């Protein structure tokens, strides 16, 4: 952990973009915090000055869904917490929220301590959602300890991955109820794991063993069923719910319907799902097709329009990557059986540029809406706001200086992630970070990455309060700071 005081940093002449407005202002940072935002600020003696003329100064991205150093499907992701957060900083993302995933029957606190240890090498700030993979009295108790003492305010439920980390309805109900009592946000990976398991067997019985079987065994209806079930359970229990990696129109519509009835349902979209379609699974090369195996799978193109519309309409709130990198030799585990291909793709470095290029340059999103869906809304939903997700005095000096006219061609050859594939390979984007600032320090300057292992800090996230009664009748109090689009 770097505790050295940083010299002052003045970002001069840019346009500050927050989720609510944009305005011309200088930004002065000192000792890891923003101390002033305004016109004509003077640089203190010894300050570093960044010329942001013609550029935007925005909150650093928050990726609320990553898996660094994850043991999964018999192997471990290539990016650990250092390489993964370094890649994030290179792309303008200054905080991640990763996942502690206990094995079934493993005490939650044991798994949490293990992940905290692994994450000490991070060079960007990080927090954790904790997955509920089984149920018992100790899980109930540990959820309380995690919320009250460890700064965890969100719990993840995998409705897929049967015979591994899948949660049944009994666990969902118990955990959602407990989250409600604690003022924590339940989140779900929405896919019906029983149906996925059945369809995988059917594909293989038909002789489909290659990666093309992956999307066939996980069609949109399988995702939509789980999303609707989770939303219905949350509705009965009167608890808010956050659906991770919404990939299809049917799930986005389920969220929109529930929200139209007044239910607090929030949705996350992955940069990959917004721009990559399912043709990748029909690629003649096993390596290329397997490199795209992640769940839910990339979808037929029309779903991308639905996801963009969800972000534009405000039914979907955050963007993430599910950064989870496996290399070709790891993906080869499933050469004879697609259901054994380790699920996961990268993107933590590319998310902001893809969202800017496809979102802002196309006119789908304003710069302020871009900030909402890349940092501010995640900060609000997971109770990091306004420390994160906002350019204002008192906030952490986690910033990205964004050059809207610079271009870059995204490629595995230039990425900082240790993954050996880039799902955005060859895409030329206009709008990239020129500088990334983390804790008031310049960590990325025009292609030069200056990260320090272990400098990232664990982010404690307080619960939403006050807490609720046993029947959830005070759930109205669970409303996070209003999210914006």
List interacting residues with Zn ion (CB under 5 A). 189, 322
Nearer to ligand URP, 295 or 436 (CB): 295
Q: 171-210 mask for ligand URP (x: CB under 6 A)?
A: ------------------x---------------------
CB of 14 to ligand URP, least distance (A): 35
Under the binding rule (CB under 6 A), the answer on residue 226 touching ligand URP is: no
Burial class (CB in 10 A: 0-12, 13-18, 19+), 209: middle
End-to-end CA distance of the chain: give it in Å, rounded. 35
Among 89, 146, 255, 294, binds ligand URP (CB under 6 A): 294
Nearer to Zn ion, 121 or 189 (CB): 189
Nearer to ligand URP, 304 or 343 (CB): 343
CB of 297 to ligand URP, least distance (A): 9
Residue nearest to ligand URP (CB): 343
HSE, side-chain direction, 13 A CA sphere, residue 105: 2
Residues 6+ apart with CB under 8 A from 288: 280
Q: Do 397 and 22 form a contact (C-beta atoms < 8 A)? A: no
CB of 294 to Zn ion, least distance (A): 8
DSSP per position, 389-415: S--STTSB--EEEEEEEEEEE--TTT-
Burial class (CB in 10 A: 0-12, 13-18, 19+), 430: middle
Q: Report what 294 binds from Zn ion, ligand URP, none; CB cut-off 5-8 Å by kind.
A: ligand URP
Q: Do 127 and 151 form a contact (C-beta atoms < 8 A)? A: yes
Nearer to Zn ion, 223 or 369 (CB): 223
Helix (H, G, I), strand (E, B) or coil at 12: strand
Q: Do 99 and 128 form a contact (C-beta atoms < 8 A)? A: yes
Query: With CB under 6 A, what is the number of residues at the site for ligand URP?
Result: 8
Q: 341-380 mask for ligand URP (x: CB under 6 A)?
A: --xx------------------------------------
Q: Do 434 and 145 form a contact (C-beta atoms < 8 A)? A: no
Q: Report what 343 binds from ligand URP, Zn ion, none; CB cut-off 5-8 Å by kind.
A: ligand URP
Under the binding rule (CB under 6 A), the answer on residue 325 touching ligand URP is: no
Q: Do 316 and 251 form a contact (C-beta atoms < 8 A)? A: no
Under the binding rule (CB under 6 A), the answer on residue 322 touching ligand URP is: yes
Nearer to ligand URP, 258 or 324 (CB): 324
Q: Name the DSSP letter for residue 464.
A: P
CA 19 – CA 29 distance, rounded (Å): 20
Helix (H, G, I), strand (E, B) or coil at 186: strand
Under the binding rule (CB under 6 A), the answer on residue 299 touching ligand URP is: no
Residue nearest to Zn ion (CB): 189
Nearest-5° Cα angle at 245, 392 to 456: 45
Among 100, 252, 324, 432, binds ligand URP (CB under 6 A): 324
Nearer to Zn ion, 55 or 69 (CB): 69
Helix (H, G, I), strand (E, B) or coil at 49: strand
Residues 11-70 binding ligand URP (CB under 6 A) are: 67
Nearer to Zn ion, 127 or 433 (CB): 127
The 10 Å Cβ neighbour count of residue 171 is 19
């Amino acid at each position: 952990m770097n505790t050295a005081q940083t010299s002052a940093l003045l970002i001069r002449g840019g346009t500050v973009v927050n989720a609510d407005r944009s305005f011309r202002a200088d930004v002065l940072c000192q000792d890891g915090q923003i101390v002033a935002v305004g016109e004509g600020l003077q640089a203190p003696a010894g300050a570093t000055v960044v010329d942001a003329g013609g550029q935007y100064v925005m909150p650093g991205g928050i990726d609320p869904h990553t898996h660094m150093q994850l043991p999964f499907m018999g192997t471990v992701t290539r990016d650990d917490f250092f390489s993964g957060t370094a890649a994030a900083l290179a792309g303008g993302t200054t905080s991640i929220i990763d996942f502690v995933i206990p094995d079934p029957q493993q005490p939650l606190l044991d798994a949490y301590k293990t992940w905290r240890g692994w994450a000490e090498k991070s060079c960007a700030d990080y927090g954790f959602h904790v997955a509920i993979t089984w149920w018992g009295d100790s899980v109930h108790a540990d959820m309380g300890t995690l919320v009250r003492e460890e700064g965890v305010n969100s719990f993840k439920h995998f409705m897929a991955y049967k015979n591994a980390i899948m949660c049944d309805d009994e666990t969902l109900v118990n955990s959602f109820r407990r989250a409600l009592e604690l003022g924590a946000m339940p989140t779900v990976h929405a896919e019906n794991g029983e149906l996925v398991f059945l369809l995988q067997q059917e594909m293989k019985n038909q002789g489909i063993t290659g990666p093309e079987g992956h999307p066939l065994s996980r069609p949109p209806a399988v995702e939509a069923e789980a999303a609707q079930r989770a939303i219905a359970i949350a509705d009965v229990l009167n608890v808010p719910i956050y659906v991770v990696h919404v990939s299809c129109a049917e799930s986005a519509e389920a969220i929109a319907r529930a929200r139209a009835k007044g239910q607090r349902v929030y949705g996350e979209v992955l940069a990959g799902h917004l721009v990559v379609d399912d043709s990748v699974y029909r690629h003649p090369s096993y390596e290329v097709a397997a490199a795209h195996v992640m769940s839910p799978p990339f979808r037929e193109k029309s779903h991308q329009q639905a996801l963009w519309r969800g972000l534009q309409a405000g039914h979907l709130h955050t963007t993430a990557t599910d950064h989870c990198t496996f290399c070709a030799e790891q993906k080869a585990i499933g050469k004879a059986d697609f259901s054994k291909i380790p699920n996961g793709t990268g993107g933590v470095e590319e998310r902001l540029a893809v969202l800017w290029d496809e979102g802002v340059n196309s006119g789908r999103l304003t710069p302020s809406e871009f900030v909402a869906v890349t940092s501010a809304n995640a900060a609000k939903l997971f109770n990091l706001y306004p420390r994160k997700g906002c350019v204002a005095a008192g906030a952490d000096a986690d910033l990205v200086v964004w050059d809207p006219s610079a271009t870059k061609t995204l490629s595995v050859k230039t990425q900082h992630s240790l993954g050996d594939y880039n799902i955005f390979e060859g895409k030329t984007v206009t709008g990239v970070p020129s500088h990334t600032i983390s804790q008031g320090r310049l960590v990325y300057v025009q292609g030069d990455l200056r990260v320090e292992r272990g400098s990232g800090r664990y982010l404690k996230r307080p619960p939403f309060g006050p807490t609720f009664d046993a029947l959830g009748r005070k759930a109205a109090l669970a409303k996070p700071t209003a999210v914006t689009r």
